[in-house]
Amino acid sequence: AADIDANPYKPDFPLLAEHLDLTFLDSAATSQRPSTVLEAQSRFYTTMNANPLRGLYALSVEATDAIARVRSQIADLIGARTPDEIVFTRNTSESLNLVALAFAPSVLAPGDEVAITIMEHHSNLIPWQRACADAGANLIYLYPTKTGELEEAEIARKIGERTKIVAATEVSNVLGQRLPIERLAAAAHENGAIMVVDAAQSVPHLPVDVSKLGADFLAFSAHKALGPMGVGVLWGRAELLERTEPLYTGGEMIDSVTETGAVWAPVPQRFEAGTQDAAGIYATGVGLSYLVDHVGYPAIAEREAALVSAAMRRLAELPFIDIIGSPDPARHHGVISFNVRGIHPHDVASLLDMQGVAIRAGHHCAQPLLAWLGVENLACCRASLAFYNDRHDVDMLGDGLETVWRTFHG
């Protein structure tokens, strides 16, 4: 097992290294960044800053090449067939809106169905509510067991010949559970439907391969995977992207424009209207390199499994903690949601914060899930771990929660 007493990664993360009194347990909201990412962002502006695509001079070409290299790197990372299948957006939310609002109208007719799970983040839920409302289609929810398992019978019951799109998160940002995406994709394809995967919480933890998953579209955000905020990725199968209208129009997304119309540029430029966050995209590549090449998914999995097990063992010793979701640490990919009996999650988070422990409290952009689970106040606490956490962080969480309980109960 991984040695979580040692932490070889912390020195690479300036915010963590310079705030040794901070226990950061909110990586599911956004990860911390290694100094190589911060330096890359600034290196872009100091050595290659020019508007990519807009100039025929060396500097602009260099900026353009830098973006092209990251596009290829991401294509390789997720098993895309060509870099042209990678669209840069601002975040997962924008990527999923692009699919729901620009692609979905081409396949949805009145009476059709879009199937999602009750475990979706609002980002993979509200766009489908809109798409269904616009098309007169019906939004169908798949429900897991109370511990977050999506069973075969539920998949067979909900995905059928009326289904045109299935959209699901690979890892739940509340339960930490990995969903059987391969199985959902097979059910979608048996019925001629399209499979959309929200990989926001999986790319930071698990190898993601679009063909193994059986995905047709897949979205994630750089900022949860060591990259900067403001860069998202949408991957789509080339023939589907070809059929998709742009969501935004303007600069850099056309072949030609006349007084009365415009001809779109090829994919993916067609979806990238306006000036891109070139420095952010450049730094995204550096962040993903750190994640995948420097640390590596096998080491990430081993270390996070050890951290989650240690944290859940400690929480199990506290009789006032109720874990939300599976009691099995192996089912939690970095995320542990819980409540402290009788104490509002916001109070728990504030009291932990006073002890230097940063966790998330609230609805975690998954209100329908919390409502369905019957979680009081539609709110819970969430501790989310990354490979750069260590045993001290787990101890701080456990000790902190004991203090929270004593504060309320003397």
Interface residues with ligand PMP (CB under 6 A)? Answer: 29, 91-93, 121, 123-124, 169, 173, 198, 200-201, 221, 365
**Which is nearer to ligand PMP, 223 or 314 (by Cβ)?**
223
Closest approach of Cβ 55 to ligand PMP, in Å?
Answer: 30
Burial of residue 21 (CB within 10 Å: 0-12, 13-18, 19+) is exposed
380 catalytic? Reply is no
**Which is nearer to ligand PMP, 119 or 401 (by Cβ)?**
119
- CB distance 366 to 121 below 8 Å: yes
258-294 per-residue burial string, b: 16 or more CB within 10 A, e: under 16: eeeeeeebebbbbbbbeebbbbbbbbbbbbbbbbbee
Q: Three-state SS string across 218-265, please?
A: EEEEHHHCCCCCCCEEEEECHHHHHCCCCCCCCCCCEEEECCCCEEEC
Closest approach of Cβ 234 to ligand PMP, in Å?
Answer: 11
Closest approach of Cβ 93 to ligand PMP, in Å?
Answer: 3
Q: Which tokens hold the place of 248?
A: 């935004």
Residue type, 97: N
Q: In whole angstroms, what separates CA 128 from the centre of its chain?
A: 17
Report how far residue 258's alpha carbon sits from residue 270's, in angstroms, rounded to the nearest whole number: 17
Tell me the sheet residues that pair with 233.
88, 220
Closest approach of Cβ 52 to ligand PMP, in Å?
Answer: 22
**Which is nearer to ligand PMP, 198 or 272 (by Cβ)?**
198
**Which is nearer to ligand PMP, 217 or 405 (by Cβ)?**
217
Residues annotated catalytic, as ranges: 365
